[in-house]
Structure formats: structure tokens, C-alpha cells
Structure 1
Amino acid sequence: MKDQQFILVDYLVKHFSGTLSQTDIQSLQKIFKDDPSLRDQWEKYTSQGLKSSDAQFWSSLDLDRARTNILNYPTAKPIIQATGNARIRNLKILVGLAASLLVIIGAALFLNTVHRDKQIVADQVYNYKNDVLPGGQKATLTLSNGKTVELSQQQATLNEQHGEQLQISNGQLQYKTNSSQAELANLKNTLTVPAAGFYRMVLPDGTRVWVNSASELSYPLAFGKSIRKVELRGEAYFEVAHEKNRPFIVSTAHGDIKVLGTAFNLRAYSNASSNVTLINGSIQLTNTNKTTKQVIPGQKVEFNGSDMRVSQANVEKEIAWQQGYFYFEHDKIQNIMDQLARWYAIDVIYQGPISKKTFGGSISRDVSLAEALELIKRGAGVEFVIDRKTVTVKNKH
């Protein structure tokens, strides 16, 4: 009989190739019950995020050949440990084989993750080591039962609890809820947009939201009778459906935005102060110190837990991302690279003193990273090196 660790390898390949059956799942549960440590191994590998779209890669992984090669390899023969008990010797070989196959799975997992990054392409124009393609429309939706669903531009219908339907059409997520069911107000969904992504959606009340890269929006399946409240980490543009007697509240780490019906852009990444720019209508901002400020159209407010700073906004700049381009105006290189890092999912390294020069201009978010960097370096006094998804920034002189 195979060692259970050995069997686990076969189930891992079935999982990654999308062929794991309900019977297999039941067998796995029995294995985990007999040996809880194997559940930890299972979660270690399956938590890496590979999906059934990798079926071709995993189906082509020849485990039978791998077993043969390992068994024929000198270190796998019975000289591992001298003993008169052949059964123990064979078991040691089998356990070693299973462990070796898990190493193969781990290596394949790593190599496939590296090679399947379709954002990395050859640079045909600017002589960088490689180029990186721009982000696109993608997100992950966490349903009220904890299940996660990958979202794209393809049309689909998802089912929530109580028969609520979530529809994806033209790259936009839309809710069709039965607001008479009060229990829906206690069920939450979370839209998570990764780096190199953005997504559009319509909330249950008809409010339209554009969610930017590296952002997360949480909200109930149906809003309560007195308020409509959502939580944001990151950046989003809101067009709030007007309801006179039911204000709309966006909660962030640095404070809350309260509106009735209006359009505004809110940036609330956790590594910096938040800011909100009002496009039209009116909003009331309350930071975590309970300081309140009324904002009028065209104003921008930077805020954190203890302070609020009001200024006249360049509205075009603040909502440029939602319109499909970057807009820079006397921006330092760190601020520019922060935006690029989120959109192209890159890491940024600064070599030597950081340039104090500023840059102004606009760049389409549809261009590749190499083209964006070439446009920036002409005016910002810096040079760039792209090495896979790491960009090094250094002064020209």
C-alpha cells in the first residue's frame, strides 16, 4: 500500500490540473484525519494560488518518470540505513521517494509561477533587459461564505446566499438583490483588485464604483434602512446614487466620507495620508479625531488621524487613472514610481541619491513599462534598469 504522503503527491497534481473529484476530496479528508500534518503540507502547496487554467502544465508533469528516476538514483537505494528488516527499508525508500516528489511539486510550482507571468515580454525598442505589459481589468471577489471567485471581463452569473444573483457583463460586476431581505445587510462581499489591475462595479443601491490597483472594497449584499456603508483600502472613484434619507458612507483607516449623492475620488492607501477630491455634490469628511470638514466641488482634502489640509484640486489629475491615463504635475520621482509600481506590479529600487527634480505630463496607462519610463526619464533626470519585475532608478549624473 502506498505511503499516504506518496498519495498526497498524486492528489496535488490532480488539484493543479483541475481533475480532483468529489471522491478524491473525501479520501483526502480521511488522510488528513489520520495524519493532520499532511493537511499542513496540502495547504502549503495549494495556497500558492495556481488555478485550473494551469491544467496543461500540470497534466504534462510526468510523475511516473520522476518516480522511476528517483528510485534508480543511487541515494534512493536501500543503503540509506543498514537493517535486517526489508519492510522497514522499503518503507524508508517510499517515504524518501514521496518527499522527493514533493520537492518536484515545489520546484514545478516555482518554475511555473515564474514562467507563466505573461506581463514580462521582450523589449523590442528601448534596449532594456525586458519589458512589462500594463495592467488590465481583473479582481477577486470574496463571497459571504468565504469562497473566492476570479473576475475578468467575461460574462458570467454568480449565485450568493438567499438566491441573490451577481452578474458580470461588459467587464462590470453588478448586483441584483432583493432588498426586502433584511438578513442581507449582515452578509458581506469584498472586491480585491491586485497590483496591475482595476475593476468596475455597481453596488446594490446603484452606486457606480471604479476600483484602482492594489485596493480592496468591502460592502453588504444589501444596505440597511438608515445608512449605506462601505469600507475602502486603496483608491476608488465613486458615483453615488442619490438617496435623500439614506446617506452613503465610505470608511477608511483615516476617517469617514459621508455623502448623499455625488462623485468623488478617494485615495486611502495605508502607507500614506488619505485624500479625497470632490467632483460634484457635497461631502462631509470626519477623521479619526472626530474633526469634521464640509468639502465643496473642486476641493481636495488630505487627511490622517490628526490633521486635515484643504486645497484647490486639479480634478483632471486626481481622476486621470479612472479615465485611463497617468497625470503628473510637479511630481517627485518617488510619487511617480509609486503609481507605476501599482499599475505594472513592479518593485522599485533607488540607487544612489534620489533625484529632487520633478516631472509633469500625461501618459496612457495602455503603454508598456519601457515606454512609460522612456517618457519620464526625458524630463525627470533619471535612468532606469528593468530586470524582470524590478526597476532600479538612478540619477543620470
Structure 2
Amino acid sequence: MMEQLNEEEIFLLLGKASGSLLPGEEALLEELFRNSPAATTAYQQLLENLKEAGSGKEGTIPLPHWRELTTEITNNAHPTTTTVKKLFSWKWAAAAASILVIAAGVFLYSHYSNRKSSIAQGAAPAIELQLADGSVINLSRQQGTIETGSIALNNRNKTLAYAAKGNAAAGTNRLTVPVGLDYKITLSDGTEIWLNSATSLQFPAVFTGNTREITVDGEAYLNVAPNAQSPFLVHLPGSTVRVMGTAFNINSYDSGITKIALVNGAVQVQSGTALKVLSPGKQATCSGGQEITETAFDERTVLGWRKGLFYFNNAPLSEISKVLPRWFNITVVIDDRSLLNRRFTGVINRNHPIHLFLEDLKVISGIHGSVDANGRLHFQ
């Protein structure tokens, strides 16, 4: 049945199987199921193939052909409809669906559901809030209502809201989210900020004056409360974003490079003397004070971290090795430097044990990872 579907329809089926569809894509899939009996049948076949792949049965695909299929998919990060149809025209087409899911980085739950993680991960440090008066609050340990001298905090379900008291408006507070964790804060004006791992936010308890200004280092998604009389300024390493009310993602993990991806509304990006006004669906990249470049971006890839997903598109091991420490609080050592340019297409799920991703990495790219007695991850 797969050969009767186009590339986008196959993509929706695979996304449903992996649990990674966005809400709009879920709606498209429901409409597809209503209007296409072939899609419904193909999805049921896909689930059966996944169960077979997870049961440990051998012979689903002869090994040489399995390798050829994996290589072709990995080398075609965005396969054309012709390529997809060619792959599914094999006499092993049913099993090819399973391998396509694996090559896309989907975790085969039926294969792993009864397995325990064999990797001891380091204990993640705490989320901390340092108030303007110098006091530090451990938000990972202290939950519920927290009374301080200047701010009344409400810390529940990885979300912080607060109310300023007295002279709390003076000075700057600093919220730090360590590796392996994420967190959300609602500022005094109603602006919502989701902070990714290894990210810090500096903000005042109460905004005063003609502007609302914060500083972010790392990655964050902002839904800025509209206020035409008080523009919102986000200071980043080497650039500044000016908004009135909008939703956008900022990423400054890479030294000297900042990326601003606009979901809706409008923002003005300033880097040195360069200025750029973005429209929704566009991403600005600022590098070392040079000219700002503008490109379209894939919302699934850029915003996947909010669902605990990180998508790799033909990414080298050198790039993967930067993400793993942030997401799993683990030290990465690459023993075989020849692997640095070995590439992988797939996805990490931060909510799953890291050994599941390592098995996908080994199967798809031939990269073997192991953890030593000190909890360091070695690639060899």
C-alpha cells in the first residue's frame, strides 16, 4: 500500500508511528485516514512491521539489502517522491517501512519496552534563581509557593511565576537552567519564556521605563506579551532582537553565531550596524557582527526541543557530540577522530534513555558508543 502514497503522506504515517507529529500534522493525518483507505491499511501494515522488527525475528530483509536501503535513506535526507517509490517497490517493501522509520531515528518501542538503561548518567545540577539581592533559590528542590524578601514565587511543574514585592524592581535576577533540563518562566508583563538546557536568562522583577529588556544566553522560545508603548528587547551574544508582541526562537549555543527564527508577528534583528526585519517562517543568522543572513526554517527541527526532540539531518558526529552533553549531562570523548565526519539522520528523544539513541547511531551510521567506569561516553 505504501507505493500508492506520496512522499508527504508517507511522512505523516512515519511521524504518527514515532509520536513526533505537530498538532497541524495530526489534523492532516486524520483527514488522510478519512479520505484514503489505502493510507489506513498502509499504517496498520507499518505498525505490524514495527512489531516484527522489535520481536527480534531475522530474515525480514536480507542483510546486504538492509544496508543498501539504510545507506540510500541516510544519503537522501529529503528523498523525492521518486526515490521513496523506488525504495518501496522492492519485494521486501513491507519491511522497508520498518527500516525507513529506524533510519529516521524512530525508537522502536516494542523492541525496547522491557529493557533497562545500561548507561549511568551523571546527576543533573539544579535549576537556580539568583535574585537581585544576591540570594539563590534551588528551584529543582523547592516546589510550590516560595516566600522571599523581595519576590513571592510559585514554582510548579517546571514553570515559574512570581509577584514582586516592595522594592523588588531594582536590580537584575538570573535564572540558570543546567544541562539535561528545561524550564518555563512567566515574566511580570505576561511574557512566556521556555528555556532549553544550558541556558541562562537575566531579567528584572518588574519592567520599568519605556522598554522591556532581558538577556538570554543559550536557547529559548519566547511568546512576548504585546505592548505597543513598551517594546521588548532581547539581548543576545553579539545581537539584539526588538519586538512588540510575537513568538520566536533564539539560539546562541554556537560561539559567535546567533539564530532567530520567527514563528509569528515581526521582529527587528540588529547585529553591529546591520538591521533585518523578519517575517514569519524566516530565520536570521548573525555571525561575528557580519551581515545578517535570512533563510526559511523548518519549524519541526527548530522547535522540536520543546517536545524533547532534537532532529539531525545528515549531521556529522562532531555536531552530535555537542548536543549530547547538553541534553544528557554526559561527557563525550571521540577516540577515533576519523568518525568526526561520519553522518547521521535521525532524532534524539531527551525523555528516553540515551542508550536507545546510541543503538540507532550504531545501526544507521556504524558509530559505536560506550560508557566507561567514570560515566564518560566514548565513540570508537
Coarse TM-score class (shorter-chain normalised): 0.5 to 0.7
Q: Does 1:291 align with 2:304?
A: no
Deviation at 1:127, TM superposition (A): 9.5
Deviation at 1:326, TM superposition (A): 1.7
Q: How does 1:91-106 map to 2 (within 5 A)?
A: none
Deviation at 1:301, TM superposition (A): 1.7
Q: How does 1:217-232 map to 2 (within 5 A)?
A: 217-232=201-216
Q: What CA deviation, in whole Å up to 9, does each residue of 1:244-271 have, x standing for no partner?
A: 1211111011110111111111111263
Q: What is the SS of the residue equivalent to 2:358? A: helix
Distance in 1, Cα, partners of 2:180 & 2:238: 25
Show the counterpart of 2:48: none
Greater Rg by CA: 1
**Superposed CA RMSD:** 2.4
Deviation at 1:295, TM superposition (A): 0.9
Show the counterpart of 1:142: 130
Show the counterpart of 2:196: 212
Distance in 2, Cα, partners of 1:377 & 1:264: 35
Deviation at 1:368, TM superposition (A): 0.9
Q: How does 1:1-397 map to 2 (within 5 A)?
A: 130-132=119-121, 138-152=126-140, 155-162=143-150, 164-177=151-164, 184-269=168-253, 271-287=255-271, 289-307=272-290, 308-352=292-336, 353-387=338-372, 388-394=374-380
Q: What is the SS of the residue equivalent to 2:218? A: strand
Cα 1:341–1:140, aligned 2, differ >3 Å: closer, same or farther? same
Distance in 2, Cα, partners of 1:340 & 1:134: 14
Q: Mark the runs of 5 or more structure 1 residues left unpaired by the alignment.
A: 1-123
TM-score, with length taken from structure 2: 0.64
Cα 1:392–1:126, aligned 2, differ >3 Å: closer, same or farther? farther
Show the counterpart of 1:107: none
Q: What CA deviation, in whole Å up to 9, does each residue of 1:187-230 have, x standing for no partner?
A: 21110111122111111111111111111101001011311111
Distance in 2, Cα, partners of 1:207 & 1:231: 14
Percent pairwise identity:
28
Contact kept? 2:122, 2:329, Cα under 8 Å: no
Q: Mark the runs of 5 or more structure 2 residues left unpaired by the alignment.
A: 1-113
Q: What is the SS of the residue equivalent to 2:248? A: strand
Q: What is the SS of the residue equivalent to 2:312? A: strand
Q: What CA deviation, in whole Å up to 9, does each residue of 1:152-196 have, x standing for no partner?
A: 38632233445x312112331102236xx7x54432111011112
Distance in 1, Cα, partners of 2:172 & 2:244: 22
Higher relative contact order (CA 8 A, sep 6+): 2
Equivalenced residue count is: 264
Distance in 1, Cα, partners of 2:145 & 2:116: 43
Contact kept? 1:274, 1:303, Cα under 8 Å: yes
Amino acid at match of 1:197: L
